[in-house]
Structure 1
Amino acid sequence: MPTLALVLELHHPLPAPGRGAGPEWARSAAEVFWPLLRALDDFAGRAGDASITLAVSPSWSALAADPAARRLVRRELQAEARRREGGRPLLRFVAESGGDALALIRRWHASGAIEAIPTAAAHAWLPSVAADPTVAGAQIGLAAADHASRFDARPSGIWLPFLSYAPGLEATMAAHGLRYFGVSADAFLRGTVLPPAGTLAPMATPAGVAAYAVSPPPGPAVDPRQGYGLDPRYADPKQAPRAALDHAQHFLDRWAEEASTPPPDADADAPAEPVSVVALSAHDLARAWPHGGVDAWLARLLERLSGDGTVRASSLGRHLARNPVGVMGRPAAAAGGPLAARPAGSDLYDRCRAAADLLTFALERRRTLGPEGREALAGMLRSLLRAQQIDWSHPVHGGVDPDEGLRRASAHLARFHECAAALLSGRPGLLPREPGPAFLPNLDPDDAAPG
């Protein structure tokens, strides 16, 4: 019986420096996130032995926990309920949950049906910044600590933004107690060893952390040009349920077929439990269903995963617990993309690497600092991480213009140097606190130290 491992990713870019959540967060929460959370809640209530993985970014958690952002979402949902009848059940579900998305995720994780893990601390292209051990420690360690604080449980794995793996990151993961991560299938197959089962079994890195190959989705679900969401039946409330069921079954059938097909040159000894990993971003799914229906499709897919006797749906942590032994090796570095080394043709990551040198100097002296000094150091860490974020391309109602993204990054770097100057001059108490959603609110500089 093949194992299908579904990873859903929740992420939303933070607002501009010093700003609170805006209408783009409220619309995304009302149109994308809360409908998906409702589908996940239905799954968690009847999952049985099935389980999936939910990767939650610290940025998304900061917005979901922010009281002002919650009020914006509630007003948007109320307006949607007035505009159309279909908005009322969602508003009722949000009201019954108290509008607390993090509490829902905590409950699901405790039940075992949905394993929650963090993404890296900032949506950066990690191969361009994480060669510095201080940055690697901050990206991995602070994400794990923030997740543990938000969800009352230490995570067992981590999800890398854009699957942007760089060799050596697994050592930092191991130092922070993380047991697995995902890489693209092509990076997995370009690694130090050709796995005998291809992408259908994890690879055990020398640090003891497992790497899972993430395959492209087996259907048109995330291609807005030919996706399931273009089916005109979704515009008809009477036909939409049938369309969602058809598309969910098609997706599942193709996925199960791929999971059951070993590579042509595979060894005779197949893995004890072959696994196929597919990751879906909430925003990619929303873009694929431009006229709604993504939550109906996801609900039907999750229903099939929990009730189909021909496949096993498993979170990555559960699969690894059952299959702790794998071929020893290490994936290759992620190949890169348009925002990789020089975002929008800028020298942003060069400036971030220069700032990391100053951060390393400050971190080495963290044990000599008083409370105000450690808070200034925490401000340096937050600002540098936010400067590295290149999530401008996320389809958040048009996304963020790259020039605006670079301006925001420069403002974060300016804040970084302001915190550094206050710390090194011995006047850290003069720093004003930044308004806006609390990103990494309980940041402890010790969690950012290199592993």
Structure 2
Amino acid sequence: MRGTFCLVLHSHLPWVAHHGRWPVGEEWLHQAWAQSYLRLAAMLRELAAEGGRDVLTLGVTPVLAAQLDDPHCLSATHAWLGGWQQRAHEAAPRLPAQAAHEHRLAAAALHEFEAHWRHGASPVLRGLPVELLGGPATHPFGPLLDPRVRDFGLRLGLRDAVWRTGSRPAGIWAPECGYRPGMEAEYAAAGVSHFLVDGPALHGETAFARPVGDVLCVGRDLEVTYRVWSPRKGYPGHRDYRDFHTYDHATGLKPARVTGPDVPPHEKASYEPDRAAARVAEHAADFTACVGARLDALRERHGRPALSVAAFDTELFGHWWHEGPAWLAAVLRALPEAGIRVTTLRGALADPGLVGEPVELPESSWGSGKDWRVWAGEPVADLVALNAEVQERLLTTVDKARSVVRDPLLDALASQALLALSSDWAFMVSTGSTVDYARDRARRHADRVSALAALLDEGRRAEAATLTATWEPSPFGHLDARDL
């Protein structure tokens, strides 16, 4: 065996149910569901039918899992899939080849959804040949949270995974790979055995898992990960792949290929599926060779077989990179044929030979600069201050009104606080993506926390109940504020 390779995918979208349409809100969810989640699940079932076991490690953020099980989201996505097929038919007179391609994709998505997803994602996830990772409930940037709130969100997320899939995850992908020294002790106390960090947190020494206190950390191998996708390059930008940003505005379909990085949309060439398929085969072979060379070099350097972990957002495969699922399938078949062991993080860590020496991790993330600037920098100073206020109001009110019986009003307060603390809002602002939407969402949840806390502090429970009755249901009906 040349070494061990683990593919880790992290599935996440912010809580968007009932919160608007294109270009944000539920449209995000429908697109990712149709183009990534459905196709990934179908691909994994095919690999399982071929005898594949422990194919990859998959994280699904609890707040996304809640949406994938939500009846409203299920109904709306089913309707969206039907609309996608209808849009393909409408495009046929002007774009016959593209319309036929989109019709086949939409038909396959409808079949997959109706055959496997009508009761939500949880039954689907239970049957996949993967290790499921857990994580905090609403994807906050953990290093900036009060320890009580951080622990509450993590334990809620882990319980949510048990509720949906029947088993408690042993590993987590902390949101944004955010880490502060000492968090490993909290992980151990919550029953977490391993977590992912970005490679620079280990100074690039990612060949083995490393003990951090009583927990193992696994580093993302950027040498192979960046072969696929990096801040500047990667396979999805090849000229033959479908262009994500160019639309046929009459139907919303994407009829062009990348063509070139500086080619304006109206000059891009038409997308050709056969041409893209040939490039998928080429890039799968290239990646297989890259992983093999990396593991061979690590084995020679360390004198024993080593580990390489490539980690990505799930949404890259299918949603952002149309050909991504086909590339994944080709790679996961090719790597074992090249003498490389493919397994999950859990499977890799069962081998003591893949565990190295203890390490002290620095403050880190997988964002720009590999530090905290995206979530704590000057452009989001107002959100950092807002998050501090939300946490203070939450903890003060819960401590004042604490009861031995469960209080649905305190539960609503905690739910809105967790949604306000999502890392997505700062990320969108720092990266200049839908800034107004992000600030509006953060402020909306924070204002709800402030209003509800004021009513509870004054004992005006009837008014508090009337207020919360106007809010959309919490993604976590089993949330219990007494755990704070």
TM-score (norm 2): 0.78
Question: CA separation of 1:19/1:228 partners in 2, compared to 1, >3 Å: closer, same or farther?
Answer: closer
Deviation at 1:102, TM superposition (A): 2.3
Does 2:431 align with 1:402? no
| Residue in 2 that maps onto 1:321 | 350
What are the superposed Cα offsets for residues 76-118 of structure 1, whole Å, 9 maximum, x if unpaired?
Answer: 222333413322122212211143322111122xxxx201112
* Cα distance between partner residues in 2 of 1:343 and 1:408: 19
| Residue in 2 that maps onto 1:195 | none
* Cα distance between partner residues in 1 of 2:471 and 2:317: 31
Question: CA separation of 1:310/1:344 partners in 2, compared to 1, >3 Å: closer, same or farther?
Answer: same
Q: Given residue 7 of structure 1, which amino acid in structure 2 is its aligned partner?
A: V
Q: Which moved more, 1:357-366 or 1:8-17?
A: 357-366
* Cα distance between partner residues in 2 of 1:425 and 1:434: 20
Deviation at 1:428, TM superposition (A): 4.1
Does 2:252 align with 1:232? no
| Residue in 2 that maps onto 1:103 | 123
Q: Aligned runs of 1:301-450 on 2, under 5 Å?
A: 301-305=331-335, 307-308=336-337, 310-323=339-352, 326-334=356-364, 335-336=370-371, 338-342=373-377, 344-364=379-399, 368-371=403-406, 373=407, 375-392=408-425, 401-428=434-461, 430-431=464-465, 432-433=468-469, 435-436=471-472, 438-447=474-483, 449=484
- C-alpha RMSD over aligned residues: 3.0
Does 2:41 align with 1:40? no
Deviation at 1:332, TM superposition (A): 1.2
Does 2:28 align with 1:24? yes
* Cα distance between partner residues in 1 of 2:451 and 2:299: 54
| Residue in 1 that maps onto 2:108 | 89
Question: CA separation of 1:428/1:174 partners in 2, compared to 1, >3 Å: closer, same or farther?
Answer: farther
- SS of match in other structure, 1:279: strand
* 1:126 pairs with one of 116, 123, 142: 142
* Cα distance between partner residues in 1 of 2:13 and 2:307: 29
Task: Answer whether contact 1:392 1:399 (CA < 8 A) is retained.
Answer: no
- SS of match in other structure, 1:339: helix
Q: Which moved more, 1:61-70 or 1:24-33?
A: 24-33
* 1:214 pairs with one of 213, 220, 244: 220
Task: Answer whether contact 2:292 2:338 (CA < 8 A) is retained.
Answer: no
* Cα distance between partner residues in 1 of 2:294 and 2:169: 29
Question: CA separation of 1:225/1:341 partners in 2, compared to 1, >3 Å: closer, same or farther?
Answer: closer
Question: CA separation of 1:179/1:434 partners in 2, compared to 1, >3 Å: closer, same or farther?
Answer: farther
Question: CA separation of 1:388/1:367 partners in 2, compared to 1, >3 Å: closer, same or farther?
Answer: closer
Deviation at 1:200, TM superposition (A): 0.8
* 1:251 pairs with one of 287, 305, 314: 287
Question: CA separation of 1:92/1:3 partners in 2, compared to 1, >3 Å: closer, same or farther?
Answer: same
Q: Given residue 240 of structure 2, which amino acid in structure 1 is its aligned partner?
A: P
Task: Answer whether contact 1:58 1:119 (CA < 8 A) is retained.
Answer: yes
Question: CA separation of 1:393/1:90 partners in 2, compared to 1, >3 Å: closer, same or farther?
Answer: farther
Q: Aligned runs of 1:181-220 on 2, under 5 Å?
A: 181-189=195-203, 198-206=205-213, 208-216=214-222, 217-218=224-225, 220=227
What are the superposed Cα offsets for residues 299-344 of structure 1, whole Å, 9 maximum, x if unpaired?
Answer: 2222234x42511111111222233854223311114255221473
Question: CA separation of 1:169/1:237 partners in 2, compared to 1, >3 Å: closer, same or farther?
Answer: same
Deviation at 1:280, TM superposition (A): 1.1
* Cα distance between partner residues in 2 of 1:123 and 1:316: 21
| Residue in 2 that maps onto 1:283 | 315
Deviation at 1:383, TM superposition (A): 1.7
* Cα distance between partner residues in 2 of 1:57 and 1:142: 12
Q: Which runs of 5+ in 1 are unaligned?
A: 191-197
* 1:296 pairs with one of 326, 349, 352: 326
Does 2:183 align with 1:164? no
Does 2:63 align with 1:59? yes
Deviation at 1:26, TM superposition (A): 1.6
Q: Given residue 290 of structure 2, which amino acid in structure 1 is its aligned partner?
A: R
* Cα distance between partner residues in 1 of 2:160 and 2:469: 19
What are the superposed Cα offsets for residues 33-54 of structure 1, whole Å, 9 maximum, x if unpaired?
Answer: 2222222232333353443100
Question: CA separation of 1:436/1:274 partners in 2, compared to 1, >3 Å: closer, same or farther?
Answer: farther
Q: Percent identity?
A: 24
Q: Given residue 440 of structure 1, which amino acid in structure 2 is its aligned partner?
A: F
* Cα distance between partner residues in 2 of 1:231 and 1:274: 34
Number of equivalenced pairs: 423
* Cα distance between partner residues in 1 of 2:303 and 2:241: 45
Task: Answer whether contact 1:134 1:356 (CA < 8 A) is retained.
Answer: no
Deviation at 1:201, TM superposition (A): 0.8
Task: Answer whether contact 2:5 2:307 (CA < 8 A) is retained.
Answer: yes
Question: CA separation of 1:322/1:15 partners in 2, compared to 1, >3 Å: closer, same or farther?
Answer: same
- SS of match in other structure, 1:277: strand
Q: Given residue 181 of structure 2, which amino acid in structure 1 is its aligned partner?
A: P
Question: CA separation of 1:280/1:225 partners in 2, compared to 1, >3 Å: closer, same or farther?
Answer: same
- SS of match in other structure, 2:310: strand
* Cα distance between partner residues in 2 of 1:412 and 1:359: 12
Question: CA separation of 1:65/1:184 partners in 2, compared to 1, >3 Å: closer, same or farther?
Answer: same
Deviation at 1:365, TM superposition (A): 6.3
| Residue in 2 that maps onto 1:193 | none
Question: CA separation of 1:359/1:242 partners in 2, compared to 1, >3 Å: closer, same or farther?
Answer: same
- SS of match in other structure, 1:346: helix
Q: Given residue 201 of structure 2, which amino acid in structure 1 is its aligned partner?
A: A
* Cα distance between partner residues in 1 of 2:47 and 2:474: 30
Q: Which moved more, 1:236-245 or 1:54-63?
A: 236-245
Q: Which runs of 5+ in 2 are unaligned?
A: 89-101, 243-270, 365-369
- SS of match in other structure, 1:122: coil
What are the superposed Cα offsets for residues 398-428 of structure 1, whole Å, 9 maximum, x if unpaired?
Answer: 9952232112111111111233234333444
Q: Which moved more, 1:422-431 or 1:209-218?
A: 422-431
Q: Which moved more, 1:60-69 or 1:238-247?
A: 238-247
